[in-house]
Structure formats: C-alpha cells, structure tokens
Amino acid sequence: MPKKGGIDFAEEPLAIYAFHVLIGHHGLFSLTPIWLLSFAGMIVLTRQWFGERETFPAFGMVALGISVVVIAFYIGRSNNYGGFTGGLRWFFWLNPIWLITMVPILDRLAVREWGRRLGYALLAITVFSVSYPMWNPWRHPWIYQLCEYTGWLVY
C-alpha cells in the first residue's frame, strides 16, 4: 500500500501538529483570532458559575468543555488538516456556540476605545481569513499559502 502524503496526512510530531492546528498555518486562533474573545468569554461565564453573577454560567461551562474536548480529540487522534479548505472544517460547527460566548467580553471591551479597536482588529483579520478563499473554498488558508510561497513549509 502506498504511503499517504501531503497536507491530509502530515507526518509530523504531535507538538508541531498541535501548533499548526491552534496558531499555525491552519490555526484556529491565527486564522480567526476573534475566537480568542470567545474563549475569554467562556472563562468569564464559567467564573460566574462560582458566584460572581447570574447570567448563563452553565452555558459557559458546557461551551468550554465541548470546545476543549473537540479540540483535544482532533489534535490527539488526527494528523489531518482537513485538505484544501479555508480552515479546520471539524471546528466549523462550534462557531454558533463561540459567537454566543464572546458576548460578555464584547460588552466589557465596548466601553473602552482600546477595547473597541482590539475587537475591530481581531474581526478584520478574521474577515480577511474567511473571505480570502471566497472564489474557491477548496484552497489552503492564506497563512499556509504564504508559508509555502516563502519556502517555510513543504508537505
């Protein structure tokens, strides 16, 4: 049986694969840094579970638990970046959950000028990453293509 190769079957150490899944060329947080606000929101909501305020603390804990389990599962059980897609396709179904959990952080950032600017900057990078493959969704993310162009990566 021939050895499988390419980006779908990357033969690399787990630490390298985890790096690229989280902040590298297919990175959850490098391609869509707006999700950093979501994870911060999950932590805020989870802290509320322990008595600070009553909003949706159970939702924060469930969202954080599901997110950590799904991310850990795919990092630990896969070496597949999802092929020619604009990001890791097995995380896309978590987007609605992450949109809801960013609300507490957005509320806190909105009252300060620097907070609004930070939110806009994270959103701008996210929108660029999402719209980059719009004419052809079956292509690698822009970070991967940049790394390939500069010779930093060869799969």
- Tell me the per-residue pLDDT of 49-58, one tens digit each, with 9 for 90 and over: 555 555 667 8
pLDDT digits (tens, 9 = 90+) for 38-50: 999 999 888 765 5
130, with CB counted inside 10 A (0-12, 13-18, 19+), is middle
Between residues 111 and 79, which one has the greater pLDDT? 111
pTM given for the model: 0.82
Give the span between the Cα atoms of 123 and 145, in whole angstroms. 21
Between residues 55 and 85, which one has the greater pLDDT? 85
Q: Extract long-range pairs of 142-145: CB within 8 Å, 24+ residues apart.
A: 142/31, 143/24, 143/25, 143/26, 143/27, 143/30, 143/31, 144/7, 144/25, 144/26
